[in-house]
Structure 1
Amino acid sequence: MEDQNSSTLFAEQGPLARAIDGFTPRAAQVAMAAAVEQALDDRTPLVVEAGTGTGKTFAYLAPVLKTGKKVVLSTGSRNLQEQLFHRDLPTLVEAMDYHHPVALLKGRANYVCLERLGLLNDAVPPLSPEGLADLQKVRRFVPLTRGGDIGDIPGLPERSEVLPLVTSTNDNCLGRDCGHYQDCYLVKARAKAMEAQVVVVNHHLFFADMAVRDTGFGQLIPDAEAYILDEAHQLPEIAGQYFGQSQSSRQFMELARDLRLAYKVEAKDMAQLGKAADQLERCTQDLRLAFGLDSSRGQLRLMLARPDVAQALTRLQESLEFTYEVLKLCLGRGEQLSQCFERLIGLRTQLESVTRVEETGYSYWYDTGRLHITLHKTPLSVAERFAAELAKDEVSWIFTSATLAVGDSFAHFCADLGLARCRTLQLDSPFDYSRQSRLCVPRYLPETNGPGRGRILANTLVDTLGRVPGGSFFLCTSYQVMNEVAEVLRARLDRTVLVQGEDNKVRLLEQFSDDGRAVLVATSSFWEGIDVRGNALQCVVIDKLPFSAPDDPLLSARLEDCRRRGEDGFARVQLPKAIITLKQGVGRLIRDVQDRGVLVITDGRLVNRAYGADFIASLPAMPRTRSLARVAEFLSTLE
């Protein structure tokens, strides 16, 4: 295997063609594999935009397996991670006769914690009937599993209320002091990853590991000779989350709950412990309520200037102080109590850090859900921190995605990640967009922020959607528009209309594909990482150009930062991000050489604003029209 180069690997009679049914070499795939091979050899970072259909997964996997180097592969989500590990990697391992161990590693929230599951026997917190049924599913699963991955538990809902009770967090893990340390599924998964030659992780775990290393407390992922980051367009945003700090009211509620458990098990005579737990829970809930009842996000500085919010925060800090004094008296009486004490110290320090809003270089913001509030301190740029990682010797870095460039420039992506010196490669999709697709920006569209816009768009497009022989995606930039569109289509269209949120993502997509003529109305989570081939998807409607909302706290902090430096925030931050997001949405339409379909973008700015040309230049070369009648003609050829 060692003497084969990329062109031999991908040749018509090569090992991949012999082992994989229907494998045909593609010029772009061979070009990418050669570039990856060079990057592995000379260690110059490589940035590759590989259009849909290039076959980029095999293009980076084959050269890496051939070298036999220790490699960490990171991708954008757990679903893509599973696909890479269970589908693509085994195919190549067999084709290339690869004999080194490979491993899949997820974050700790994906593994059952035996210690916490055991504690639930002693004092189960009040659970709903569904929660109790879910707990039984977990208990039945544990004797049968070797890996302990909660994703393998049949019928367990993604958001089950028992999940935080049967998994651990950094805060509540006992580490080596745990009685189940030898049997711990997470410890075993990490040990397996340390031994493996190829480790598959996701970006959240990748940056969590980097942040843990910064603190000097061990590591989660092994050191490698090469790091390959797929879906790399997501990196700047995810890195920001981990190089900053976030603190959720959930952490305080979980501490209060664990304090009660410790009180019942290790210090029954300390009534003050129960009082401290109750007070901590009450003050945490009061802080959440001070931010209003609705789900929202905004600038933390502005909220902390309000007397009611400042007062609620002070009361929470006083409650933490009281709990600290009580716990100090219990030290030495049990492991749970000692561990609660250490967590408390960490939470106090973190709360102080995320609410010290005068530091520059960060955005301080909050977001609230139905029950919890999360406070964030996010660096405005990760370039400097990431550049330090890239400077390490003897390591190869490869960044790839279907959407990294704006037009033909990688400047935006490289600046965001501090990639001062790198090689770039842009590979077009092998699809014939002029034959396979049409792009329409209809005339007479409502204002982008006009009232009832979703209803107007749905009424305008209902006939077009009715003419699509297969299925359609209607992708929206807000929940309000999504709900308005769904309401009209359900009333006027004689087809199945599926709506994001009414079932989980995997089942919605299964229903969509099985139906073959359905319309799926969704928001941002269906813009990327979705692969529906064939006639099941023949039309994608995008309601407007995906600029971030101007009141997004992180965006407004970045724009302010640009203004201070004399840069144009729109051109530097907003436009490139929107172009890359639009490219992701557009990429849902044509997934195969046989696919044909129509893209409808209902935003007049694409044709009547100067920056519309920047969007068009970044999209595939689809024949364009402004007439829905022309679209209907093209759809009639798809029967």
Structure 2
Amino acid sequence: MSLQAEVEAAFGAEGLLSRAAPQFREREGQTRMALAVAQTIEQGGALVVEAGTGVGKTFSYLVPALLSGERVLVSTATKALQDQLFGRDLPRLVEALGLPLRTALLKGRGSYLCLHRLGLARHDAGHEPMAARALAKVERWSHSTRSGDLAELPGLDERSPLIPLITSTRENCLGAQCPQFKACHVNLARREALAADVVVINHHLFFADLAVRETGMAELLPTVRVVIFDEAHQLNETGVQFLGLQLGTGQVLDLAHDLLAAGLQQARGLADWQQAAADLDRAARELRLCVGKQWPGTKLRWAGSAPEGVAPAQWQSGLDALQQAAETAMAALAMCSEIAPDFVRLHERAQRLAERAQRMAAACAHDAVRWVDVGTQLRLVESPLDIAEAMRTRVLRTRQQVDAQDDEPGSAPATHDPERPRAWVFTSATLGAEPALRWFTEPCGLQDATVLRVASPFDYAQQAALYVPQPFARPNEASHGAEVAALAAKGALRLGGRTLVLTTTLRALRTIADAVRQRLQAAQGPIDVLVQGELPKRMLMERFRAAVEPGQRGCVLVASASFWEGFDAPGEALQLVVIDKLPFPPPGDPLVEARTQRLEAQGRSGFADFSIPEAAVALKQGAGRLIRRESDRGLLVVCDTRLVQMGYGRRLLAALPPMRRLETADDFDEALASLASDGAA
């Protein structure tokens, strides 16, 4: 039986899935996607699938992948999605299909407890009492955990300052010289991944490996024939973070600190460690002083020999001083390389800093863009405009190129049939706003891929409505945030919470959150206002979902950035989504400017061919938070009259699910009343 026939049978009304999961029901779109994945696995090549919310894309790619008998690599957008896929979806399917498959989870080293650094932190007497208690909790957990995955540790905030003390980085990992090398959780995870049939990773890990070739993927990928990217819409932005070049003054200060500590503890008197550290420290601080006072978060364009507003001579002198300080440190460390592995790693770090300082002092690559992120420290960035070239030359290789790589000395032997080309599957609920999905395929170098769009099975016209309030303050008017807050507070009071407010900027987030909080306090409603940044994302999501449980206060969540996607609150927990304005990309961002200029140099429109598609995809993502199940009902409010008054608004409206339209404030009030009465029933 062919793979496609097996897949069709599994998804049938009397198939394996229906017998294993009573709630499963046959969906035409889900089966169609699964058959396309199966065909790609059989024939090889690249498949791009946009599968609307509710299609069940996870089963659509996992079932054919598992039935194929091939080794499979699945990459997701975030570590949370990794955990969900590995801990829930994969075990259910492996059991349902009755397959003797080994699965493994592989994350970046920063996700795992480093036993060596835990030991160092334990002997550091300088911890505050709260940090000392948290460290003791980690140490108790370290004796029982097998994986060392910090996601297993309850109550550990992902923003905790403790995490850098108990995890390793590429810079400070001692590798095979580490006294804890045999027990290392990172190495254990890599060994399990190499022995598994299905490995779940994330996009960050995939591209980090392309950049540095040391995360374990360099060994893993040649043995895998089927590679699947879920939440693929994040691939391009994730990839450019890793495929460019970065140099941070914080890295320099960290090197100075570590060099001084190691030198005085293990090689006192063999070099002037204090002078070497002081030179690095001074070079970093003087480079920071070059840019003067700037708002935190400022991005300085860097088109010439120096960033905008910075004296070129002073800037070049700063980079030269940084390179010289790193080379001086290298010379001192080279004399001590035989004493301890710490000095070898420190030498490598100093060498990388010297090389990057030299590179940043030279002209920017022609196909890249440079800028400087300004905060307490500086981050110098040179980034490619997209990942297309890297995907074509380093990922989507021809069979001959792959075979050549697989035969390189030291690489893991290929376990797939060399006569069959690799299969690549890219899928997400949102990959563009037009049939060819060019928003995704062009920057990812996938113009030759097979494209499939599978619509959501939801009845949006019955389940949801769209309201664009008119008249309403324009987004650039001072009263806009207050009007958004008033509308959101009104809806929340009517619904008893159950409201998500999505903002396009952090400034708007703070303005709207404060105003919503004031209005709800004045109304004395039993509703809490949750604000992104005030608690970890995981805690915010858990509290919001729990608000519909008996005895809980209602919730309004005001958020930005990552909450536009990856936030799932099905059922009655979320019934009103308010978007403050159309999510156009920020025009002053250097990467946005460079992408726009490239299109215009090609005779295309930067606004029509970049800004509008970007806004359409982001708007579609935000709107996708509302309806997550076939029984959900809700309202989407976009507080930006440009959506209905400007010509480009038609393109943006077309990107949204086909919700019914509410034309007047009375229509909106009536819809709120209907939702409120259903919730009270």
TM-score calculated relative to the size of structure 2: 0.89
* Worse-matched range after superposition: 219-228 or 406-415: 219-228
Deviations 1:366-388 (A, max 9, x none): 2234x433221111132122122
Q: Which amino acid aligns with 2:103?
A: V
User: What is the Cα deviation at residue 65 of structure 1?
Assistant: 0.6
Q: Which amino acid aligns with 2:344?
A: S
- Look up the match of 1:375: 380
- Look up the match of 2:594: 557
Aligned CA RMSD, in angstroms, stands at 2.3
Does residue 387 of structure 1 match 2:395? Answer: no
User: What is the Cα deviation at residue 279 of structure 1?
Assistant: 3.4
8 Å Cα contact 1:73-1:229 kept in structure 2:
yes
- Listed as ranges, the matches of 1:187-202 within 5 Å are 187-202=187-202
- Listed as ranges, the matches of 1:292-303 within 5 Å are 292=293, 294-296=295-297, 297-301=299-303, 303=307
SS in 1 for 2:228: strand
Q: How far apart, in 2, do the equivalents of 1:125 and 1:341 lie? A: 27
8 Å Cα contact 2:102-2:196 kept in structure 1:
yes
Deviations 1:532-588 (A, max 9, x none): 011110000011111111111110111122222322112222221111111110000
Work out which of the residue numbers 630, 634, 637 in structure 1 matches 2:671.
634
8 Å Cα contact 2:334-2:347 kept in structure 1:
yes
Does residue 79 of structure 1 match 2:80? Answer: yes
8 Å Cα contact 1:407-1:617 kept in structure 2:
no
- Look up the match of 2:127: 127
Q: Which amino acid aligns with 2:504?
A: T
8 Å Cα contact 2:465-2:634 kept in structure 1:
yes
8 Å Cα contact 1:548-1:574 kept in structure 2:
yes
8 Å Cα contact 1:193-1:222 kept in structure 2:
no
User: What is the Cα deviation at residue 329 of structure 1?
Assistant: 3.8
Q: Which amino acid aligns with 2:491?
A: T
8 Å Cα contact 1:48-1:426 kept in structure 2:
yes
- Look up the match of 1:239: 239
Q: How far apart, in 2, do the equivalents of 1:505 and 1:131 lie? A: 21
8 Å Cα contact 2:208-2:215 kept in structure 1:
no
- Look up the match of 1:366: 372
* Worse-matched range after superposition: 412-421 or 589-598: 412-421
Does residue 341 of structure 1 match 2:347? Answer: yes
Q: Which amino acid aligns with 1:374?
A: R
Q: How far apart, in 2, do the equivalents of 1:69 and 1:285 lie? A: 53
User: What is the Cα deviation at residue 239 of structure 1?
Assistant: 1.3
Structure 2: unaligned runs, 5 residues or longer: 400-420, 549-553
Equivalent pairs counted in the alignment come to 637
Q: Against the structure 1 CA distance between its residues 43 and 465, is the aligned structure 2 distance closer, same or farther, given a 3 Å change threshold?
A: same
Q: Against the structure 1 CA distance between its residues 575 and 81, is the aligned structure 2 distance closer, same or farther, given a 3 Å change threshold?
A: same
Does residue 444 of structure 1 match 2:448? Answer: no
- Look up the match of 2:404: none
SS in 2 for 1:637: helix
User: What is the Cα deviation at residue 440 of structure 1?
Assistant: 0.6
Deviations 1:199-237 (A, max 9, x none): 000100011122234999954656311111011111111
Q: Which amino acid aligns with 2:370?
A: Y
User: What is the Cα deviation at residue 2 of structure 1?
Assistant: 7.4
Deviations 1:117-161 (A, max 9, x none): 333455x38433333333222322222221111222233221222
8 Å Cα contact 2:271-2:332 kept in structure 1:
no
Q: How far apart, in 1, do the equivalents of 2:216 and 2:370 lie? A: 25
Q: How far apart, in 2, do the equivalents of 1:420 and 1:409 lie? A: 9
Q: How far apart, in 2, do the equivalents of 1:355 and 1:29 lie? A: 52
* Worse-matched range after superposition: 539-548 or 373-382: 373-382
- Look up the match of 2:504: 477
8 Å Cα contact 1:280-1:319 kept in structure 2:
yes
Deviations 1:608-627 (A, max 9, x none): 11111111111111111231
8 Å Cα contact 2:482-2:515 kept in structure 1:
yes
Q: How far apart, in 2, do the equivalents of 1:598 and 1:536 lie? A: 13
SS in 2 for 1:22: coil
User: What is the Cα deviation at residue 336 of structure 1?
Assistant: 1.5
Work out which of the residue numbers 616, 627, 635 in structure 2 matches 1:598.
635
- Listed as ranges, the matches of 1:92-491 within 5 Å are 92-121=93-122, 124=124, 126-213=126-213, 218-219=218-219, 223-270=223-270, 272-291=272-291, 292=293, 294-296=295-297, 297-301=299-303, 303=307, 306-307=310-311, 309-369=315-375, 371-388=376-393, 389-393=395-399, 394-468=421-495, 471-491=498-518
Does residue 508 of structure 1 match 2:534? Answer: no
User: What is the Cα deviation at residue 392 of structure 1?
Assistant: 2.9
User: What is the Cα deviation at residue 452 of structure 1?
Assistant: 4.2
* Worse-matched range after superposition: 556-565 or 65-74: 556-565
* Worse-matched range after superposition: 512-521 or 101-110: 512-521
Q: How far apart, in 2, do the equivalents of 1:220 and 1:354 lie? A: 33
Q: Which amino acid aligns with 1:579?
A: A
8 Å Cα contact 2:323-2:355 kept in structure 1:
no
Q: Which amino acid aligns with 1:548?
A: P
8 Å Cα contact 1:304-1:310 kept in structure 2:
no
Does residue 521 of structure 1 match 2:548? Answer: no
8 Å Cα contact 1:116-1:167 kept in structure 2:
yes
8 Å Cα contact 1:104-1:201 kept in structure 2:
yes
- Look up the match of 1:15: 16
SS in 2 for 1:551: coil
Deviations 1:76-99 (A, max 9, x none): 101111100001111101100111
Q: Which amino acid aligns with 2:27?
A: R
Q: How far apart, in 1, do the equivalents of 2:26 and 2:350 lie? A: 58
Q: How far apart, in 1, do the equivalents of 2:323 and 2:666 lie? A: 64
Q: Which amino acid aligns with 1:188?
A: L
8 Å Cα contact 1:298-1:551 kept in structure 2:
no
TM-score calculated relative to the size of structure 1: 0.95
Structure 1: unaligned runs, 5 residues or longer: none
Q: How far apart, in 2, do the equivalents of 1:214 and 1:335 lie? A: 18
User: What is the Cα deviation at residue 355 of structure 1?
Assistant: 4.5
- Look up the match of 1:616: 653
